[in-house]
Structure 1
Amino acid sequence: MPETRLDIDRIRAARRMIDPVFLDTPLYRCDALDPALGCAVSIKLETANPVRSFKARGTELIAGLLAGDGAGAVVCASAGNLGQALAWSGRGRGLDVTVVAPRSAPAAKLDRIRALDARLELVDGDFDLARERAAAVARYEGIRLIEDSQDIETCEGAATIGLELVGAVPTFDAVLIALGGGALATGVGHVVKALAPEVEVICVQPLGAPAMTHSWRQRRVVTTGSTDTIADGVAARRPIPAVLDDLLLVADDAVLVQESSIMAGMRMLLDHAGLVVEPSAALGVAAILEDRDRFAGRHVVTIVCGGNVDMDAYHRWVGVAPDHTP
């Protein structure tokens, strides 16, 4: 395959640095989804770990390397999941972690970052403004800035999911991957294209946050002025050029889905799989709902990438009345 920034040997080595609690997450055929979606669906459940998202695969790798080099502090920008993961990984290795997040990020994610002993700084604005502030903190304090997707470790940590997919599923036709900054898509995509090139790699992004998809389609960085989606975990406006270069080499397609489909996907994962997921984790199901003919009769893997969601908002999105029973 064409050469990206990622390396299969480093990805295999990464597994040895990642706490096993984040590895070999459940992967199973969800037969209950088949009739509703018209295809065979397997779920890779990246919420079955202490931070309820795939992000810790990358932060485990980064924190391990930093601790080995004697680093004492790090800072990152996060919509919530990366911050939780870095806080978890840093706490276990004696690193002081600062997370810069949008004030509008889900309260459940922010509370969890605080509970993991990280210093949390909130900014008025979106994720890209949080990125700018995190970079300023790193410069002022002289500490390491962790940039999701830009730092290759975040991509290669996520890529270990691809190793598990290719090693466990005898045959599948396509993998549906949530697309935000690109770490998950480029990581998993790299492994799949290297080890199972016949599998279609399809990235999925909300219509309200389309910057990376537009960039992939036009083969150049395309920024947007704003985002408007419930899928906060993938709501970025400014693609990173090096990440786009990698994505162009491993993605077969990038599609955009409507908010109504994301909510319908969340409801389907609740009703048919018993899973409470955040909006980004339902993007794969949303893509199937919007193009059933494309996937009819095929075996599709979707990565359920996160389960950190504000429950009041979740109940509104999926149309389930909240239970306030003491």
Structure 2
Amino acid sequence: MRETRLDTARIRAARQVIDPVFLDTPLYRCEALEPGLGCAVSVKLETANPVRSFKARGTELVASLLAGDGSPAVVCASAGNLGQALAWSGRRRGLDVTVVASRFAPAAKLDRIRALDARLELVDGDFDLARERAAAIARHDGVRLVEDSLDIETCEGAATIGLELVETAPPFDAVLVALGGGALATGVGHVIKASAPGVEVICVQPLGAPAMTLSWRQRRVVTTDSADTIADGVAGRRPIPAVLDDLLVVADDAVLVQEASIMAGMRMLLDHAGLVVEPSAALGVAAILEDRDRFAGRHVATVVCGGNVDMDAYHRWVGAAPPYGS
């Protein structure tokens, strides 16, 4: 395998730094999903932790490094989950955490950031505008800027999920990973390709927020003017070149799915697995729904990456979900 920025030895060492509450998350075959999807499906449940997403695997590494260096403060931009995770990890280590987010982000995510004692600044725009504001704060105040996916700790923290997939599970034919900024996809993909190169790594992104997928397909950074999807956690418009370079090494495919399929995936995970998930976490199931023939007879693992969702919106989406067979 060609090299990425990630290092397998560092990823293994990361497990000694990350709070164990975020490690060894449930991984199990969910037979109840299989009649509707036409393939064997295992779920890796990254919602069963204090921040209900995978993001703290990375922020634990970031916060540990900052505390070790004596850095008192840190700032990040977030669609919601990274901010919660950094607030949790930073509070535990005495860091002053500022999170910049869109005021249109789910209220449940914003409320949880505040509850974790972080300073929250809201911008009248999307995630990419929040990124610009967080960078300005970092320059002005002279504090560490954490950039999800660009900072290698966020990728290598996420990569510990890949270790758990390859070390504790029967062989998979494919792993489906939500694709946004790229930390999860490059992290999991790096480990899979290093340890089980025959397993297909398939990244999944909403059709309404396709920037990273288009970039992967064209092998160059492609930006979009807007992002229109209920999957706010993966709704970036400006891919990071270094992250794209890593993704090009480890991803076998990148697919786009429709909003109706995301809602149907959320409904399936509720009805057949008892899981309340945010839209980004249903992208893997959505990909199977849109291409059953591709996955028929195969064993597929999907990373259920987050469960922070506004319940009013959730009920609207699940109630509007089309029939599974449509």
Superposition TM-score, scaled by structure 1 size: 0.98
Give the letter aligned to residue 177 of structure 2: I
SS of aligned partner of 2:105: coil
Q: Distance in 1 between matches of 2:237 and 2:31?
A: 36
Structure 2 matches for 1:1-326, cutoff 5 A? 1-319=1-319
* 3-state SS in 2 of match to 1:198: coil
SS of match in other structure, 2:303: strand
Aligned-residue sequence identity (percent) comes to 88
Deviations 1:177-203 (A, max 9, x none): 000000000000000000000000000
Q: Structure 2 CA distance, aligned partners of 1:75 and 1:41?
A: 38
How far apart, in 2, do the equivalents of 1:170 and 1:124 lie? 46
Specify the code of the residue in structure 1 equivalent to 2:160.
T
- Paired with 1:114 and 1:248, the residues of 2 have a C-alpha distance of 37
CA deviations 1:62-97 (Å, max 9, x no partner) are 000110010000000000000000000000000000
CA shift, 1:255, in A, is 0.0
CA–CA separation in structure 2 for the residues paired with 1:47 and 1:178: 14
Post-superposition Cα deviations, 1:83-137, rounded to whole Å, max 9, x if no partner, equal 0000000000000000000010000000000000000000000000000000000
The alpha-carbon deviation at position 169 of structure 1 amounts to 1.2
Structure 2 segments unaligned to the other structure (5+ residues) = 321-326
SS at match of 1:319: helix
The RMSD of aligned alpha carbons is 0.5
Supply the distance in 2 between the matched residues of 1:71 and 1:199 (Cα, whole angstroms): 40
User: How many angstroms apart in 1 are the aligned matches of 2:313 and 2:154?
Assistant: 28
Structure 1 residue runs of 5 or longer lacking an equivalent are 321-326
Match of 1:323 in 2: none
What secondary structure does 2:267 align onto? helix
Taking the aligned partners of 2:192 and 2:282, their CA distance within structure 1 comes to: 21
One-letter identity of the residue aligned with 2:183: A
Q: Which residue identity does 1:41 align to in structure 2?
A: V
Moved segments of 4+, more than 4 Å: none
Q: Which amino acid aligns with 1:309?
A: V
Tell me how far 1:170 sits from its aligned partner: 1.9
SS of the equivalent of 2:162 reads: helix
